[in-house]
A and B are shown apart, each in its own frame.
Chain A
Amino acid sequence: EVQLVQSGAEVKKPGESLKISCKGSGYSFTNYWIGWVRQMPGKGLEWMGIIYTGDSDTRYSPSFQGQVTISADKSISTAYLQWSSLKASDTAMYYCARQLAVAGNMGYFDYWGQGTLVTVSS
């Protein structure tokens, strides 16, 4: 059974750093992309970026380029999303999802994690 299990909820202060995780199991981790999706309170889904866990090739949305870093450790089948300096506007639910590749196209997310709630408040 394919599973993506995300790390628990976080409460941080503005300016602090943070790294959240997403551990994949039940499939060959290094043969797929993992993506991150933001959902701010009461708002829609936002595509942040993806990483190919086999070689760490990474793509970012222009809206998130330079704001976050996506990485992966294939030895432990885990992808990460990190911030160096959080802002209150980073308060959101963050989902990881496995992306199925589609030749010549951006792929789609077929399995999702349960979400990690990040709250940034002074």
Chain B
Amino acid sequence: SYELTQPPSVSVSPGQTARITCSGDALPKQYAYWYQQKPGQAPVLVIYKDSERPSGIPERFSGSSSGTTVTLTISGVQAEDEADYYCQSADSSGTYGVFGGGTKLTVL
């Protein structure tokens, strides 16, 4: 079945920019969404439709898309951004959804 590929981990210092990628063959056809999950909590949507930011999500979170790769960018990373991040999309026909394997963001 369809898969999305994310790097297992990304590390940045506070104030720097973190970029988390997600690759999949169907991403040119299907939107990507990003979720943040902190330990012991349910996931929270941080980006929808590749680059839209829900209300209440800080402006430092942004998303972009290029071909078969989408990217979540966190500018001016803060300690509170340390979490697991997951991309989500669907197979090319939009029949079923899929999550990427997740990326653990560490703020050094």
Contact = CB atoms under 8 A, between A and B. Distances in A.
A associates with B = yes
Interface of A: 35, 37, 44-47, 49-50, 59-63, 95, 97, 100, 102, 104-106, 108-110, 112-115
Given A49-B96, A50-B97, A106-B30, A62 B1 contact: yes
A112 B42 contact: yes
B35 A45 contact: yes
A95 B96 contact: no
Given A61-B1, A63-B1, A106 B97 contact: yes
B38 interface: no
A47 B96 contact: yes
Interface in B66-94: 84, 86, 88-90, 94
A108 B98 CA distance: 11
A62 B99 CA distance: 13
A114 B98 contact: no
A45 B48 CA distance: 17
Contacts of B42: 95, 112-115
A69 B98 CA distance: 18
B60 interface: no
Nearest to A115: B42
A115 B89 CA distance: 21
Given A102-B31, A104-B94, A105-B30, A47 B45 contact: no
B86 A106 contact: no
A110 B54 contact: yes
A61 B48 contact: no
A108 B99 contact: no
Nearest to B54: A110
Contacts of B90: 105-106
